Structure 1
Amino acid sequence: MSSRSPLKLLSLGVAASLALAACSSGSATSGSGQPAPGGTLTLAIGSNPDCVDPQQPGTNASLNVGRQLVDSLTDQDPATGEIKPWLADRWEVNAASTGFTFHLRSGATFSDGTPVDAAAVKTSFDGIKALGARAQLGSGYLAAYTSATVVDPQTVRLDFSAPSAQFLQASSTMSLGVLAPAAYRKTADQRCHGDGLIGSGPFVFESFKQNADIVLAKRKGYNWGSPLFKHRGEAYLDRIDYKIVPEPGVRTGSLLSGQLGATTEVQPVDEAQFQGNGFTEQTRPNPGIVFNLHANVTKGVLTDEKVRQAVGKAVDRKEVADTVLSPNYKPATSILATTTPLYTDLSAELAFDPAGAARLLDAGGWVPGPDGIRVKDGVRLSASVVFAAVFNQNQSVLELLQQQLRRIGFDLRLELHTTAETLQIQQAGDYEFLWYNVTRADPDILRNIFSTKAGNRSKLPAGNPLDAALDEQAATADPAVRKPAAEQAQRLIVEHAYAIPVFELTQVVASGPNAHEVGFEASSRLQLFDTWVSGA
C-alpha cells in the first residue's frame, strides 16, 4: 500500500493504521543527519481546505498548501520583517506609494514551461483583482489597484489609485503568488480544486480528494528560490501528502504511533507529548491582529466607552494563557502580535486591573443586581460575543473570559456559529462583540479591519482620529514615518477599547523523528522547501 492511503479513523478518536509511516520507500537516507533528497512527508492538517488556489482562500489549512505551489514577487524575513527579492530581484516605489515597479529575475518558469515575465505578472494581478471578494485576502491588498503596465519583457509597473505602502509586504504573500496565464483559462471554481493550478513554485499540484488528502509533487528543475531558503535548487521532498484529519486526538495519536511525519494545530493539552523522545515542536505566534473581543460601538451597552474600558481592565490575559492555553501562547500586549512589524508594546495599558474596572462602572452608575450582574436604568450590563470554532480552544477561552467578566458584574453571552454564519453576521453588522484574529505580517491589517473606508468592524463614524492614523501609515513605505502612525493607531484602538486584545494565536507544529526542517514563512504559514525526511 502507498503512503498516500488515507487515515482510517476508529471510534472514540483513535487512529487506525496508515500503511506506511512518513517516509516512502523511495526516501533517501543520510547517515550523517544531513539533508538528503527524496521521500514523502505525510502531514496532517485540521480541516478540509475550502480551496487550494492560493489566490482565493483565507484559512491556514488552504494557505499551508498553496504556499508550496506559487512563488511571489518578493519574500519577507520572518525574523526582521524585511522585504527580500524573489521573482523580482529589485524594485522601485514612487514617492506617493501608488506605483511599484518590479524588475523580474530571468530564468523562472511556470510548471507548464512558460516564462515568468512581465506579461504573466500583469495577467496574474489582473486575475486576482477580477476575483473580487473571492480573493479573501488579496482583494484587500489590491483594493486600490488600478492596472499593470508591461514596461519591457522583464519589467512590470503596478499602479494604485491611493497610497498603498502595504503593497510591498503584500507582494510577499502566497495570496498574491503568481499563476501562469493558462491558469486563467479555467474558472475560479476549477482552480479551487486544482484544475489548471499552474504556478512557478517548488511543488506542483497532483491530486485533491475532498476530506481525505491533498498531494503535491516536486517541481523538477526548480532553481529560483527565495534567498531566505536554506538551500538552492529543487526542494528535497519528492512529495507532500496532506492528510485531512479534523479530530485533534487522531492527529496526536497518529503522530505518536509513527503513522504521520508531522501535524499542524497541536492542541495545548497535547504539546507536552511532543517535547523530547525524538519529537520536535516548531512554534511561531501569528503576526497581525491578536484574538480579541471586537466591539460594535453602536450596539447596546458597548456604546459606552467606560464600559468597554472596564471590560478591557477585567480581562486577565495571563490567566487565559496559563489556564486554557500553554506557555507557547503569549498574552496580548497590543492589538497587534509581537511578530508584526511596527508592533508597539502596550502591556501597561492592558494590565489586569479589576479594581479599576469596578471604579469605572461605579462612576458610570452601574450597580450590582440581585444575581451579581450590574444594572443601570433597568438595563443589564450584558453583551453577546459571536464566534466560530476555527481555533479548537475558542469556546474554552471565552468561557474563562465569561467568568472573569462576571466578577465585575458583566454578563458575557456566548453565541457559537459556523464560520459561514459568523461571516454573514459580521458583514451585516449584527453583533455586539466579535471574537476573531487576522494573520498578516504588516500593520496595515489594522486599516483593513478598523478604517471607516474598509472593514470598520467597530462601526466608527467617518473622519475619526483613528482613520487619520491608519491613512498616514498607509501613505509611505518609509518606516521612520510609518512607525509613529502605526503606534498611534494601536494606542487609539486600545485606549478607546474599540477592541479588547486577549492572546496571540500561535502555530504549533509537531514533527516525528524522521521529519526535519518543517518551517514557517513570515505569516506563520508552512514553508516546506527546506523540509526533508530521513529513513526509518
Structure 2
Amino acid sequence: MPRHTPPRPPRPARARARLAFALALPLLLAACGTAGGASPQDAGPPRPGGTLRLGISSNPDCIDPQQVSTNASVNVGRQLVDSLTDQDPKTGAITPWLADRWTVSPDSTSFTFHLRSGATFSDGSPVDAAAVKTSFDGIKALGAKALLGSSYLAAYRGATVLDPATVRLDFTQPSAQFLQASSTMSLGVLAPAAFRHTAEQRCQGAGLIGSGPFVFTSLKPNQDIVLGKRTGYHWGSPLWRHQGEAYVDKIDFRVVPEPGVRSGSLTSGQLDAITDVQPVDEPQFSGNGFTEPVRPNPGIVFNLHANTTRGVLADQKVRQAVSKGVNRPEVTSTVLTPNYKPATSILGSATPLYTDLSKELAYDPAGAQALLQSDGWVPGPDGIRTKNGQRLTASVLFSPVFNQNQSVLELIQQQLRKIGFDLKIELHTNSEVTRLQQAGDYDFLWYNVTRADPDILRQQFSTKTNNRSKLPADNPLDASLTEQSATVDPAKRKPAAEQAQRTIVEQAYAIPVFELTQVLGVGPNAHDVGFEASSRLQLFDAWVSGS
C-alpha cells in the first residue's frame, strides 16, 4: 500500500505569509491591494478580540456543513468544522489537518487516516477514529440531503476503526477523488452527539457540534447567524497563518440580499466586509482603505451544457458552431469586470489538472458560419438559419444564482444571432431548474459547479452519474473520466483529465463561457479575510482593528 504522507510545511513569518497568500493563488486576476488608503499591513500585527460583521447575499436555509450547498451556507458552515485533510490553494496539494498522515491502496478503494492527538469537539468529546466513522456513516445516511457529500461518498462501503487514532474508509470502486473530498467542508467531521438530532434540527443549528475554530451561537432567519470563537482551539490546519485560537471573538453573518444595500452598508461602516460584490459596485472599493480580495472558483465554469438528444443540439456541428460563435472576452469585458476570466476550458484555471484549451475556444464567427453552411443550415429571411423547414434554435434554462446571469445570456443571445442561431432564454427558480434537469427536459443548462478537483467532470458528464449531456453508455468520454478516478497520483491522473476536458470542448458537449470569481469587499477595519482552495471563506486568520 503506497504511502501518501506530505510533510508539514514550515511556519512562515506572519507578514510574509499574509502577502504570499494573496500573490500565490493560481491565476489570481486582481490583487488584494488598496489604493488611496491604509494597507492591511499598516494596521499593525493581528490582534485578538472584536466582532467581524460580514454581509452575505442570501439567507442560509441550512447551516449544517454536511448538508449545505449554496455559497452563503457554505461560508458559514466552513468555520464550524475541521476536515481530515486540507488543500493548498496555491498548488492543489492535499495536506494534513485532523489527520497527520494517510495511506491509499493501489486501486484507490481504501484510505487509511492516522489522526493527530488532542483535537476535541465543542462538547469536549475526542476527535477519534470512532467519531470519524460515525460522522461519515452519518453523511452517507443523509442521502440526497447531503447535497455535495453524497456525490463524494457515492461508492462509500463503510469505515473500520483500526485503533482509537486510526480509521480506514473503504469504497466499492476506485475513488481517487475522495482524497480531495476529504478536505472539503461537506465531509467535515461532526461529533457523535450531533447525530442524535435530526437533519432538519441540525440545519437550524441544534446539535451542530464540530471541532472547528468557531461554534454556533444563534440563528435568526433572514437576519443573521452568529458564531463564537472556540476557546482552547489549537489544532488548526498547517496552511493557516497562525496557530492557536481564532482572532475574532464573534462572526456576525448578516443577511443583506440587495447588492446596493450590501455595498452601501460596507462603505458606511455598518459592515466590516461583504461577499458577492457585483461588477457595478466594484469601483466603490478601489480606495479609501477598502480592499477587494478575489479568487476564481475552481471546478466547472459557467457554461451552456447541451442535451445532445434534443432538437438541433443533437447535431455535433451545430454545437461546435455555437462554441465558435460565443465571444468570451466580450462577455467578461462588457457585462463583467477584469476580475472575471473568459473560460479557457470546461474547468476553471484554479482547478488542479486544468488544461488550457484557449485555442479551441477562440472566437471564430466565420468558422461557425462555414460549419453551419456545410451542414445545410442556410440563412432565413430574419437572419436565423433553417434546414428542411427547421429553425436553428434552442432554449437555455437558468436561475438567478449569480446576479449577472441574465445580462450574460442576453449578450450571448446577441452574439449567436450573428451566426444565425436563435438562443431563447428561460428564467426559472432553482427548484424548477433542478426538476427540469432531472427530467431531462432542457436544451441547454446554464450553471457552474465549484470543486477543486477534476473529478467534478465525472459527476456531471459520466453516463454512470448525472450525464447532463445525455450521452450513450460506454462512450470515449466515460473511459477518460473513469481512468482519472482510478489513482491519486497526479502524474497518472493528468493525461486522462486532460483528455476528458479536450473531448468535452471539442465535441461541444458543453460550451464554456466564463470563470465565476468570488469578489469580496473588505473595509479598513477588517484584515486577512481570505479563501481556502475551494474559494470558500477562511476566517480563522481574520481580525478587526479599531476605527
Q: Distance in 2 between matches of 1:380 and 1:232?
A: 62
Question: Aligned partner of 2:493: which letter?
Answer: R
Give 3-state SS (helix, strand or coil) of 1:119's partner. Answer: helix
Matched, 1:179 2:186: no
- 2:524 alignment partner, one of 507, 513, 519: 513
Counterpart residue number, 1:342? 353
C-alpha deviation, 1:517, in angstroms: 0.3
Counterpart residue number, 1:81? 92
- Superposed counterparts of 1:111-510, under 5 Å: 111-510=122-521
Counterpart residue number, 1:92? 103
Q: Distance in 2 between matches of 1:202 and 1:468?
A: 42
Q: Is the 8 A contact 2:62 2:73 kept in 1?
A: yes
Q: What are the ranges of 5 or more consecutive residues in structure 1 without an aligned counterpart?
A: 1-28
Question: Aligned partner of 1:296: which letter?
Answer: N
Question: Aligned partner of 1:219: which letter?
Answer: R
C-alpha deviation, 1:331, in angstroms: 0.1
C-alpha deviation, 1:32, in angstroms: 5.9
The 3 A distance-change label for structure 1 pair 30 and 534 is farther
Matched, 1:108 2:127: no
Q: What are the ranges of 5 or more consecutive residues in structure 2 without an aligned counterpart?
A: 1-39
C-alpha deviation, 1:370, in angstroms: 1.2
Q: Distance in 1 between matches of 2:140 and 2:436?
A: 25
- 2:53 alignment partner, one of 36, 39, 42: 42
Question: Aligned partner of 1:337: which letter?
Answer: G
C-alpha deviation, 1:258, in angstroms: 0.6
- 1:174-225: CA deviation from partner (whole Å, max 9, x where unpaired): 0000000000000000000000000000000001111000000000000000
Counterpart residue number, 1:7? none
| TM-score normalised by length of structure 2 | 0.92
Give 3-state SS (helix, strand or coil) of 2:341's partner. Answer: coil
C-alpha deviation, 1:276, in angstroms: 1.5
C-alpha deviation, 1:60, in angstroms: 0.7
Give 3-state SS (helix, strand or coil) of 1:216's partner. Answer: strand
Q: Distance in 2 between matches of 1:380 and 1:146?
A: 50
- 1:33 alignment partner, one of 44, 58, 70: 44
Q: Distance in 1 between matches of 2:528 and 2:42?
A: 17
Q: Distance in 2 between matches of 1:428 and 1:37?
A: 52
C-alpha deviation, 1:50, in angstroms: 2.0
Q: Is the 8 A contact 1:280 1:511 kept in 2?
A: yes
| TM-score normalised by length of structure 1 | 0.94
Q: Distance in 2 between matches of 1:504 and 1:145?
A: 31
Q: Distance in 2 between matches of 1:392 and 1:139?
A: 28
RMSD in angstroms over aligned alpha carbons? 1.0
Q: Distance in 2 between matches of 1:156 and 1:185?
A: 22
Q: Distance in 2 between matches of 1:84 and 1:530?
A: 18
- 1:341-378: CA deviation from partner (whole Å, max 9, x where unpaired): 00000000000000000000000111111111111111
With 318-327 and 418-427 compared, the bigger mean Cα shift is at 418-427
Paired residue total = 508
Q: Distance in 2 between matches of 1:234 and 1:432?
A: 50
Q: Distance in 2 between matches of 1:31 and 1:352?
A: 45
Q: Distance in 2 between matches of 1:491 and 1:279?
A: 40
Q: Is the 8 A contact 1:342 1:486 kept in 2?
A: yes
Give 3-state SS (helix, strand or coil) of 2:103's partner. Answer: strand
Q: Is the 8 A contact 1:63 1:525 kept in 2?
A: yes
Q: Is the 8 A contact 1:30 1:36 kept in 2?
A: no
- 1:227-266: CA deviation from partner (whole Å, max 9, x where unpaired): 0010010000100000001100000111011110000000
Q: Is the 8 A contact 1:30 1:534 kept in 2?
A: no
Q: Percent identity?
A: 77
Give the ranges of 4+ consecutive aligned residues of structure 1 lying more than 4 Å apart after TM superposition: 29-32
Give 3-state SS (helix, strand or coil) of 1:61's partner. Answer: helix
